[in-house]
Amino acid sequence: MRSGRLAMGDFVSARRLFAHGGSAYDAAESFFYVIPTSSRLTSARVTFSPVSGGGKTTTVTTRQHEEAAQWTYYPVHVKLTPGVWRLTAVSGTDRGCFLLHLTA
């Protein structure tokens, strides 16, 4: 999904895996990826802020990048609790904002 000058995903897979996981206390890590417009950037930062459902704000920064076809992307792993989360992603000057609904 695209927002601003970057894309982020895979929200469908993240929601599906979360729904089949354990409780909020033993849930598996969720996996996301950040694809900036520029392939020359060196890191990505995603802040996960709870909108509803509790949880605490968490920021993940990664310099690890992967390649898939013509895309360079940054993998992000984070453990989240059920609720609605605002994801703010930044890579260089590229920024995007997403809402994610997680239900167990």
- In this predicted model, what pLDDT tens digit does every residue of 3-62 receive, in sequence order? 888 989 887 777 777 766 655 555 678 889 899 987 777 899 999 999 998 889 999 999
CATH 2.40.37 fits 2-102, yes or no: no
pTM (2 d.p.): 0.84
List helix spans (H) across the chain. Answer: 11-19
Domain boundaries, the chain: 2-102
CA-to-CA dists, residue 68 to 13, 59, 63, 95, angstroms: 17, 25, 16, 21
User: What pLDDT is attached to residue 76?
Assistant: 94
pLDDT at 89: 96
Under 8 Å between Cβ of 90 and 41: no
More confident residue, 15 or 85: 85
pLDDT given at position 25: 55
- Check residue 56 and give its pLDDT: 92
pLDDT at position 27, please?
Answer: 62
Rounded distance between C-alpha atoms, residue 45 and residue 25, angstroms: 24
Three-state DSSP at 21 gives coil
Q: Residues in the chain, how many?
A: 104
